[in-house]
Amino acid sequence: MVKQLGGFVGANSNSGAGAVVGRNDGAGCGVRGFNTQNGIGVFRQAGISGDAGVAGRFENVNSGNSLPTLGVSTKRYRTRY
């Protein structure tokens, strides 16, 4: 991927696949967003153009995984998962 002003934008009109997909077959994350100038690392909106979608969906598809599906940290408090 080439780094360019504005980052990376994906668009898709197919309901079967995401416009941007990240995959990691190791222990890391599939998609990671971060910001270094007081912005937002990852941002998702619902309701654009009158849609009725949800802003986020998180699934744990491994029945043997007892860890929480979503962990949230704010300020300096961190929970290890």
**Amino acid of residue 4:** Q
pLDDT at 63: 92
Whole-number mean pLDDT of the chain?
A: 77
Domain ranges of the chain: 30-60+70-81
Which residue did the predictor score with more confidence, 79 or 40? 40
pLDDT at 49: 82
Measure the CA–CA gap between 54 and 63, rounded to whole angstroms: 24
Which residue did the predictor score with more confidence, 38 or 59? 59
Query: How far out from the chain centre does Cα 48 lie?
Result: 18
Measure the CA–CA gap between 9 and 12, rounded to whole angstroms: 10
Answer whether residue 14 shows pLDDT above 70. Answer: yes
pLDDT at 6: 62
φ, ψ for residue 53 (rounded to 5)? -75, 175
Global pTM exceeds 0.75: no
Measure the CA–CA gap between 4 and 23, rounded to whole angstroms: 21
* Rg from Cα positions in the chain: 16
Measure the CA–CA gap between 50 and 9, rounded to whole angstroms: 21
- The arithmetic mean of pLDDT across residues 14-32, rounded, is 78
